Amino acid sequence: MKRLCEEIRRRQRFVVTTHVEPDGDAVGSSLAMYHALRALGKEACVCLTDSVPPVYRFLPGSQQVLREVPADFNPDCLVALDCSELSRAGEIVSQIDRASVPILNIDHHLSNDRFGTFNLVEESAATGELVYAIIGELGIPVSREMGECVYTAILTDTGGFRYRNTTRRSLQIAAEIVSLGVSPGEIAERACESYPLERFQVLGKALRTLHVGCDGRVADFFVSRDMFNGNGVSPSIVEGFVNYPREIDGVLVSVFFREKDENQYRVSLRSKGDADVSLVARSFGGGGHRNAAGCLIEGEFDVVREHVLRKVCEMIQGSGL
Ligand code: 5GP
Ligand code: MN
């Protein structure tokens, strides 16, 4: 932490980035970092491979997010947030001269492969918590803007302070931010209750594919491309769908398949308690945490689904759950 903060002080022009298909923690921690760097008098730009999902566009700074590194910017530092591997940041990284630009890797995935020149990898509910700690270590007063971004990061990665990754520290940071005047109700309305109607139209179609198996312990469902094609909306509107079947009594693991391309599926896994879905995701070349993981799999849908569900059920049985 100290060395990473020294490096931040030494450098002048920062590109801040995060993973493809960014979620609330990805966007919130990137923008909090952006505000912190600017408060230190640094030049910074947030450059992402994918655009900010509409529900997170209320966050201060989101209008300044770029989809490429400006040709005349010449960064002397790259900050990668919430990425367990550098490849998770997507193609934006190819626009940076990695031979001369050090990378600060700040992440809360224990599976992180320490790709950075400096690595701050710590288990915490959200990468936003680590950014909050960096802001403190750098002695920067937490502004309302930083607060809103960090609060949203923690709120979304803890499922609204409900998941088991929620700690005393998550709640303490949230309380400190609320004392700055940030309203939990307002942020929750914006980040969790401002989805486009199309999300629920697609959800309706997807839920018709819901199945529960493995003795009532695994629920899965999927969206195909044609479920949203008619609506002309971006795939980001299905973010978080995987969380719904987790709410079924007795279900330990919820699996959501999204058709990304012909014979290519994004698989999202969520679990309760000790069921470790990162083991399943890793066996398919993906990664994540014990209770939230994902991977990308090629093949015909029925085969992919059957393969994943078998692995999940084996994992549950193997853990004696
Ligand atoms: P989601 O289901 O929201 O896409 O991802 C859940 C978690 O799994 C996230 O913390 C994310 O970092 C991780 N994850 C999802 N997909 C991949 C992947 O393809 N590779 C790796 N390494 N991690 C993934
Ligand atoms: Mn995260």
What pLDDT digit, counting tens, does each position of 145-160 carry? 999 999 999 999 999 9
144 and 266 co-located in one domain: no
Same domain, 166 and 26: yes
**Domain co-membership, 180 together with 48:** yes
Q: What is the pLDDT of residue 236?
A: 80
- The CATH number for 179's domain is 3.90.1640.10
CATH assignment at residue 247:
3.10.310.30
Ligand 1: does its nearest atom lie under 6 Å from the Cβ of 7?
Answer: no
Q: How confident is the model at residue 290 (pLDDT cuts 50, 70, 90)?
A: very high
CA-proximal residue: ligand 1, atom 21 (nearest): 287
Q: How far is the CA of 293 from the centre of ligand 1 (A)?
A: 5
Average pLDDT over residues 168-177: 98
Provide the pLDDT for residue 111.
85
How high is the pLDDT of residue 237? 87
Amino acid occupying residue 102? P
Ligand nearest to the CA of 20: 1
Helix (H, G, I), strand (E, B) or coil at 57: coil
Q: 245 CB less than 6 Å from ligand 1?
A: no
Same domain, 19 and 159: yes
Q: Based on the domain organization, do 88 and 146 belong to the same domain?
A: yes
204 and 289 together in one domain: yes
**pLDDT, tens digit (0-9, with 9 covering 90-100), for 267-283:** 999 999 999 999 999 99
Percentage of the chain with pLDDT > 70?
Answer: 99
In this predicted structure, the answer to whether residue 84 has a pLDDT above a threshold of 90 is yes
- Give me the pLDDT at residue 321, please: 83
Residue 222's pLDDT band (cuts 50, 70, 90):
very high
Question: How are strands ordered across the β-sheet holding 43-46?
Answer: 43-46, 13-18, 77-81, 103-107, 118-121
Please say if the pLDDT value at position 257 is more than 90: yes
* Whether the CB of 49 sits within 6 Å of ligand 1: no
Res 154: pLDDT: 98
- Ligand 1 neighbourhood includes 287 CB (under 6 angstroms): yes
Give the predicted TM-score (pTM) of the model. 0.93
Q: Are both 50 and 92 inside the same structural domain? A: yes
| Shared-domain flag, residues 253 and 311 | yes
Residue 235 pLDDT grade (very low, low, confident, very high; cuts 50, 70, 90): confident
Which of 192, 209, 241 lies at the terminal end of a domain, its last residue?
192
Distance, in Å, from the CA atom of 214 to the CA atom of 310, rounded to the nearest integer, reads 9
- In the listed set 133, 164, 192, which residue is the last one of a domain according to the structure? 192
**What pLDDT, on a 0 to 100 scale, did the predictor assign at position 58?**
97
74 lies in the same domain as 186: yes
In this model, does residue 13 exceed pLDDT 70?
yes
For residue 188, what pLDDT is reported?
Answer: 98
The preferred substitution site among 109, 244, 280, 284 for testing ligand 1, maximizing ligand atoms within 8 Å of CB, is: 109
User: By alpha-carbon position, which residue is closest to atom 6 of ligand 1?
Assistant: 293
Whether residue 279 sits in one domain with residue 187: no
Closest residue by Cα to residue 103 from 128, 127, 120: 120
Tokens of 176: 């400190």
Report whether 102 contacts 77 (CB < 8 A). yes
Gyration radius of the chain's alpha carbons: 19
C-alpha–C-alpha distance, residues 155 and 158, integer Å: 6
Last-in-domain residue among 135, 169, 192? 192
Ligand nearest to the CA of 260: 1
Q: Give the mean model confidence (pLDDT) for residues 201-209.
A: 96
Domain boundaries, position 21: 2-192
Q: Which residues, other chains included, contact 234 with Cβ-Cβ below 8 Å and sequence gap of 6+?
A: 53
Give the three-class secondary structure for 42: coil
* Per-chain mean pLDDT for the chain: 95
192: CA distance to ligand 2 center in Å? 16
Residues 214 and 290 in one domain: yes
Q: What total of structural domains would you count in the chain?
A: 2
Q: CB count, 10 Å around CB of 33? A: 31
| Ligand 1 pocket, residue 28 CB under 6 Å | no
Q: Is the CB of 22 under 6 A from ligand 1?
A: no
CB distance 292 to ligand 1 below 6 Å: yes
**CA-CA distance, 128 to 138, in Å (whole number)?**
15
Q: How far apart are CA 288 and CA 83, in angstroms?
A: 10
CA–CA gap between residue 186 and residue 39 (Å, rounded): 25
Q: Torsion-angle region of residue 12: left (phi > 0), alpha (psi -120 to 50) or beta?
A: alpha
Question: Residue 228: pLDDT band by 50, 70, 90 thresholds?
Answer: confident
* pLDDT tens-digit readout, 37-75: 999 999 999 999 999 999 999 999 999 999 999 999 999
Residues 296, 226: one domain? yes
pLDDT at 320 over 90: no
Q: Among 110, 268, 269, which is best to mutate for testing ligand 1, by the most ligand atoms less than 8 A from CB?
A: 268
* Best residue for ligand 1 mutational test, from 56, 295, 298 (most atoms within 8 Å of Cβ): 295
